[in-house]
Every structure is written in C-alpha cells, then in structure tokens.
A and B are shown apart, each in its own frame.
Chain A
Amino acid sequence: GAGVSQSPSNKVTEKGKDVELRCDPISGHTALYWYRQRLGQGLEFLIYFQGNSAPDKSGLPSDRFSAERTGESVSTLTIQRTQQEDSAVYLCASSPQLNIQYFGAGTRLSVL
C-alpha cells in the first residue's frame, strides 16, 4: 500500500469495554511498532514485532494491553477493560530494516 494504515481513526468507548486497534503496515516491511501519544506529549514505545514475533513487550503499560501480528502483515493492539487513563492516540509504524520508521495517522481513543 501507499503508507501505514490504521483503523479506526477515532474510537470512543465506555470504561471497562475492550477495544481492538488495527494497523496495516507498508507491504514488505518486516518490523512493526506500536506507540502511545498522550495529549501534548511525545510518543511512548509500547511493543515491536519482527515478523510475527514480539521480542520486546517491555513498553506495554499493563497486562490489559496485548498485541499480535499475522506474518509480516496486519497487527492488532487490544486493550481490555479500558480505563480513562488509556485515552490517547495510538500510533503504528513500520520499517523495512530497523531504521526509518513510517508512521500511520493513528487511532484516537477516548474512554468515557
């Protein structure tokens, strides 16, 4: 595809509900990254995939957060039992070989 695609672009949910965020990376990019960006803040690393393997899950804030990736393609970030503190923009990036990361436009999550 032309770039990294994320869906939905906006998600409003109620506290306690589960949400799934989707990322379609650039075709052929082996590495995929998830970041969280709170309002007015920098990006906070969550997790990365090399292929469908996730060697580094150190950034996941709690066990309510999980992610998976199918081969070298789509990834989903799941947040269970959402809390208001989870409200943020969730950004996905992909990279051909651990250098420049190309970002999607993000999913803006609002937990009411």
Chain B
Amino acid sequence: GESVGLHLPTLSVQEGDNSIINCAYSNSASDYFIWYKQESGKGPQFIIDIRSNMDKRQGQRVTVLLNKTVKHLSLQIAATQPGDSAVYFCAELYYNQGGKLIFGQGTELSVKP
C-alpha cells in the first residue's frame, strides 16, 4: 500500500551544526517528493521539492537528496538555527490523483542554542 515513513521521530542538534532528516518510502509511482515544515499550531509550510527523475536539489540552506534505488529521501539543513525547530514531514505527490499528498509521520527537530 501507499506509505511514507521516517527513520527517527526526534532529532536534537546544536545551533550552527548541520541537520539531516531521513525518510523512507515504499511506493515508486509518485511524481514529486516534497518536504514540509510544521511549527506548533500552524499548518505545514513548503520547504523544497524534488522531481522523481532527479537525485539532488538545493535551496537556500537546504538540500534534498533522493535515492530511488533504496527508496530513500533526505533533507539536509545547513547551519541549523533555532528558528528551524519544528516537525518536518516528507510527502509524496501524485499528479494522476489530483496532486494528492501522502505524508510520513514526521521528525521533530530541536535546535539547542
């Protein structure tokens, strides 16, 4: 069935360090993978996406890596800041199903000053 899961439920890092959040998925049919950030009491906020035919994409301080061989996705955050503290979700987007998103369980990132 469709499922997107995460390896670690919590991650604690020191301010200034790099963070790596991992995600495993089971369905190979998705068109895009997307990372969302959710702060307490707010809706998810788009961070970065990657097409299924790419293996790397960089944004501002963030990089997403996609390894389709092992069905693994990661989000790297450079020079992590206290404002990065949130729950991070990976999600699969299905164009042929109206753009439906299938979300993973989430990783809570805590940044220590």
Contacts and interface: CB of A to CB of B under 8 A. Distances in A.
A33 B41 CA distance: 19
Contacts of A101: 46, 99, 101
Contact of B102 (A4, A40, A45, A106): A45
Dominant secondary structure of chain A at its interface with chain B = strand
Interface residues of B, number: 24
Nearest to B95: A98
A43 B93 CA distance: 13
A56 B104 contact: no
Contacts of B33: none
Contact of A42 (B49, B99, B100, B106): B106
Contacts, number: 61
Task: Identify whether the interface residues of B are mostly helix, strand, loop, or mixed.
Answer: strand
Contact of A43 (B45, B97, B101): B101
B99 A43 contact: no
A48 B106 contact: no
B103 A42 contact: yes
B87 to A, nearest CB: 9
B42 interface: yes
A103 B43 contact: yes
